[in-house]
Structure 1
């Protein structure tokens, strides 16, 4: 029967396909490099486009009359463009301030969205509106904008309702709220205000402190390195898969070939034998083939295995052929030896000889060499 494949055979298989595996790795690296370069150029173009768009956004594209029309309508009834125009108008001359929060363990508090949910609750919004006699337009959750910088743990508050004085008054009240820390949310936290008072959100330097909620950031060097290593690993796995598929589809016998032997049929792998000064391949062959004095049939179709056959076929009871059909049917064959060479012997030829040999119902040994 077939022998299970050894680690060495798997290793020899991988070595025989090293060109395929390395080629796959190189191809994937080239694809990764191309993607990285294209991404860099695309990102740069995107950033340029965003910069151009941001410059355009600095200009108010709707007037007060149009803004009033939007505000008098139901906000949800406006389309995306109209909503964006309204928020842009309301953010004109917005005011902002920065702060730092730490929890009861003195660790930075990072959940800025939770802060927004707290400070835009109905009770707090009503209190702020009562103090200022102002109204959030179209509502507090859209007029107030919070963000968090993960590099320095600084939170940023911004409010814009379309009127500079109203923005200042609302920002001042919220500044006082953070300064006094008199709501339950702050009971187990400490707030440190970075700015002495709210400041106008008007220039590029301020704008960089209020990044978009969804921001495209360039990949860091560490991320790129991880992706590069991951690409190599995936390429190696892909190369091995391609090698297995190629090995299965190729016409010749290779390291991981299933000889399809059954019952008492045997497989002898000469490539496992390490010849030295005392033992040679021929010695092993003679020991394998010269077991009994009966009619033996050696099936070989290559110059190399023919040489082996000549060395062991020293008596008249040996018959060497390249096809079992060439042997005379009058000869009482008792043992059949099929010689194969890795990466040379055709699978179709082997299968044909195997099927013909089984017709004799005698001892059958397949001898593999490389």
Structure 2
């Protein structure tokens, strides 16, 4: 069996079943993406809830105030991180929540759920940022559900500083140089250290990329499954549709003829060489009109025509047997029977499949 023929026939099979394959691919892709979405929502429910919380909080306007801390020797305190680390402790958060009536403590756990820990380059929703040029410390709050809540929280922390109730300050003096207000006070070159509307974009991009990858994977799997299913449905049929529906010997002549091509070509395929004692096999009940006319106009020209080798006289010994197959019309059982009978003759076997 020629590999080139099989590849061509498989390509024709794909084209003939293209709608089913595309439909199956799209359905499987949607199921894969949808299944991934549902599973992610179940497995990562806490993470998704945290993402949604921060996505809303980071869309709001922050509230800020600025301070300078003067130490006993007159120098300026320069460690801003100690402020937001202390402000984020559970006891202080709970205290501020009671004073303001605003529940915002969830923000820190939400950032941890998304692995957004405080580092030198990211200070989180409650941040202390020092301007290296002036040693002014900006305390920024982006943890509430709206700008007004952020302002209430900022004012409560400012009052905490005014009362000097911070254990790490000791005898250092805190001076609020800019009162709490809504808006950004952090210098433009330090804005990247704190969250904003764009902070969660990588999470969105990651989710989108994951959906695209799974969608493409679903299309591929869907195409494979659709092809396999189409093959199963096809092999359940009793008719010959493609060259891979039957077998032939390496010594056989095998041709595939397109009905759209010239009848002269089919005529040559059947009658060449013209001097052969030829038997033409074809299931009579399925003959196409134009082929019937072609091979029956002059019987002696082509050879004996019959529906079965079993009909031949026992003393008739042809030197060529032509088996004509009509795609989607000829029975597989008929072909197998005729192929077995043909093996009993010392004759060349020529198979012509009409598509």
SS across alignment from 1:5: helix
Question: How far does residue 295 in structure 1 lie from its aligned partner after superposition?
Answer: 3.4
Deviation at 1:201, TM superposition (A): 11
Residues 362/192 of structure 1: CA separation in 2 closer, same or farther (3 Å cut): farther
Q: TM-score, normalised by structure 1?
A: 0.50
Aligned partners of 1:337 and 1:365 also within 8 Å: yes
Q: What corresponds to 1:129 in structure 2?
A: none
Q: Compared with structure 1, are the counterparts of its residues 192 and 299 closer, same or farther at alpha carbon in structure 2 (3 Å cutoff)?
A: farther
Matching of residues 194-205 of structure 1 within 5 Å: 196=137
From 225, 247, 252, the counterpart of 1:238: 225
Which residue does 2:263 correspond to in 1?
A: 281
Q: Is the 8 A contact 2:33 2:218 kept in 1?
A: no
Distance 1:330 1:38, change over 3 A: same
Partners of 1:48 and 1:221 in 2: how far apart?
Answer: 14
Cα distance, 1:307 vs. partner?
Answer: 5.6
Shift in Å at residue 291 of structure 1? 2.1
* Structure 2 equivalent of residue 354 of structure 1: 339
CA-atom RMSD, angstroms?
5.1
Correspondence for 1:303? 286
Deviations 1:7-64 (A, max 9, x none): 654432211111320221232244246447746976997579769x99xxxxxxxxxx
CA 1:195 to 1:255, structure 2 compared with 1: closer, same or farther past 3 Å? Answer: farther
Cα deviation for residue 267 of structure 1 reads: 0.6
Write the mapping of 1:66-77 to structure 2, written as runs, cut at 5 A.
none
Task: Map 1:20-35 to 2 at 5 A.
Answer: 20-32=20-32, 34-35=34-35
Contact 1:296 1:334 in 2 (8 A): yes
Of 307, 315, 322, which aligns to 1:322? 307
Uncovered stretches (5+) of structure 1, i.e. residues with no partner? 55-89, 96-144, 159-170, 180-190, 210-216
Q: Contact 1:266–1:364 at 8 Å: present in 2 too?
A: yes
Counterpart of 2:11 in structure 1 is 11
Structure 2 SS opposite 1:93: helix
Cα distance in 1 between the residues matched to 2:228 and 2:319: 42
Aligned residues of 1:282 and 1:312 also touching (Cα < 8 A): no
3-state SS of 1:13 partner: helix
| Number of residue pairs the alignment of both structures matches | 248
Structure 2 gaps, min length 5: 55-88, 95-114, 154-193, 196-202
CA gap of 1:195–1:230, structure 2 versus 1, over 3 A, is farther
